[in-house]
Amino acid sequence: MFYREAGQFKTNYVSDSAIFPLREDRIGIGLIIAAAYALAFLGNDFLLQAVMIPFLIFSLASIGLNILTGYTGLLSLGTGAFMGVGAYACYKLMTAFPDVNVIVWIFVSGFFSAAIGALFGLPSLRIKGFYLAVATLAAQFFLQWCFIRIPWLVNYNVSGALDAPLRTFFGVPIMGPNATPQTRYLLVLTIVILLTWLASNLVHGRIGRMWIAIRDMDLAAELMGIRPLQTKLLAFAVSSYYCGVAGALLVFLWYGGAEYDVFNINQSFFILFMVIIGGLGSLIGSFFGAALIFILPIVLGIVLPAVLSPFGISVGSDTIEHLRFMIVGALIIFFLIVEPHGLARLWQIGKQKLLVWPFPY
């Protein structure tokens, strides 16, 4: 009723190719962003620290993988390792140059990850599909090996772990134990919004269309004058950049300290599941996927005991954990059966239905 195309005329090409052609959508996205910022002041520490910050970070990593897997059609199992490169690069940079603001280093660390990603993307020119997945798996194992074996990466720390030193931004601590969840949340949120905006412009523009052309049929794309090598490597580089920044955020703005094991193969799968559940080739899908895979288990962990205890059923923490696994697993299968193209497609269908509501057509 309120969500109508009627009366909104497109009078030039710019408005015709806008990402959000509908006024309602633009208002909606503005409201969501405003609400996200308001949450910093309304939410409690648990919501910010244990739910929202990791959710945003995983969304960013999913966007990274989505650029590679969803938009360019190159399957990668090295996400965890590329995140690790970003985290270790950020650690080296900020300990070597402590006077430069750490926000700069978070953005710069992504470039190291991009370079490594492009290097491991080289085989993508010759191999595709599962074969490429195996090649990126090699990246995962090799980089993880480096994280363990090169003590230089952690400045010869005895504990072998990364830890977030105290860093400030105009006198306000933004990193380290003294940084409040609020400031860290605001920082993560701003970075994620900025990079999502950038990604949205990339995938909707010339570069994005090149990626999509390669994904849909690389031979045809080549005949049309798209260079496969440059395009694929660019996809690897951009994807790894996002993953690298996400990795730096993960260690320094969420955990505050971590071992190499955070960037293991499970992390890669975790992100890949988010992308598949959320929807391949969709930015909003990356957020949905992260929400379903990461937030849902937390919500279940809180809701299940609350639901069960009034019935006099007290369940142990381990039973809750098993239940979480079962319910999340069942939901993943359910969503994939209902909509094989992921939650993003469901969202799109919902919006289309809403446009014509109350009529079915």
Partner 1 sequence: MSFRKLSLGLAAATMLAGTAVPAFAQDSIYVPLFTYRTGAFAGSGTYIADGMHDYLEMLNQRDGGIGGVKLVLEECETGYDTKKGVECYESVKGKNPVLVNPWSTGITLPLIPRASVDKIPILSMAYGLSASARGDIFPWVFNPPSTYWDGLSMIIRYIGEKEGGLEKLKGKKIGFIHLDAAFGKEPIPLLQELAKDIGFEVALYPVAAQDMQNQSSQWLSARRDRPDYMIMWGWGSMNGAAVKEAVRSGYPMDKFYSVWWPSEDDARAGGAGAKGFKMLNWHAVGTNFPALQDIQKHVVDKGLSKSPKDKVGDLLYNRGVYNSLLIAEAIATAQKITGKKAVTGEDVRRGLENIKLDPARLKELGLEGFTEQLVLSCSDHNGHRPAFMQEWDGAKWVKISDPIEPMTDRVKAQLDAAAKDYAEKNAGWPKRTEPCDKAS
- Considering the complex, what minimum distance in angstroms separates the CB of residue 215 from partner 1? 26
**What ranges in the chain are assigned the alpha helix state H?**
13-16, 23-42, 45-46, 53-65, 79-96, 102-121, 129-149, 181-204, 206-216, 218-223, 228-249, 265-278, 283-290, 296-308, 317-338, 343-356
Distance spanning both ends of the chain, measured CA to CA:
14
Nearer to partner 1 (CB atom), residue 51 or residue 212:
51
Return the C-alpha torsion angle 186, 191, 193, 196, nearest 10. Answer: -160
d(CA 129, CA 124): 9
Choosing from 49, 182, 190, 200, the residue that interacts with partner 1 (CB under 8 A) is: 49
d(CA 144, CA 131): 20
Determine, following the binding rule CB under 8 A, whether residue 205 of this chain makes contact with partner 1.
no
* Chain Cα centroid distance, residue 251: 14
Determine, following the binding rule CB under 8 A, whether residue 340 of this chain makes contact with partner 1.
no
Determine, following the binding rule CB under 8 A, whether residue 26 of this chain makes contact with partner 1.
no
Determine, following the binding rule CB under 8 A, whether residue 34 of this chain makes contact with partner 1.
no
Choosing from 8, 157, 201, 230, the residue that interacts with partner 1 (CB under 8 A) is: 157
d(CA 7, CA 176): 52
Determine, following the binding rule CB under 8 A, whether residue 259 of this chain makes contact with partner 1.
yes
Choosing from 33, 34, 172, 302, the residue that interacts with partner 1 (CB under 8 A) is: 302
Determine, following the binding rule CB under 8 A, whether residue 163 of this chain makes contact with partner 1.
yes
Residues 1-20 close enough to bind partner 1 by CB under 8 A: none
Determine, following the binding rule CB under 8 A, whether residue 260 of this chain makes contact with partner 1.
yes
d(CA 324, CA 308): 14
Choosing from 122, 166, 330, 338, the residue that interacts with partner 1 (CB under 8 A) is: 166
Length of the chain: 361
Choosing from 159, 223, 337, 360, the residue that interacts with partner 1 (CB under 8 A) is: 159
- Considering the complex, what minimum distance in angstroms separates the CB of residue 279 from partner 1? 12
Q: Which of 89, 61, 88 shows the shortest CA–CA distance to 76? A: 61
d(CA 74, CA 132): 7
Determine, following the binding rule CB under 8 A, whether residue 193 of this chain makes contact with partner 1.
no
Determine, following the binding rule CB under 8 A, whether residue 320 of this chain makes contact with partner 1.
yes
Nearer to partner 1 (CB atom), residue 229 or residue 302:
302
- Binding positions for partner 1, rule: CB under 8 A: 43-47, 49-51, 54, 95, 98, 148, 155-161, 163-166, 176-178, 254-262, 264-265, 291, 295-296, 298-299, 302-303, 306, 316-318, 320-322, 343, 346-347, 350, 353-354, 357
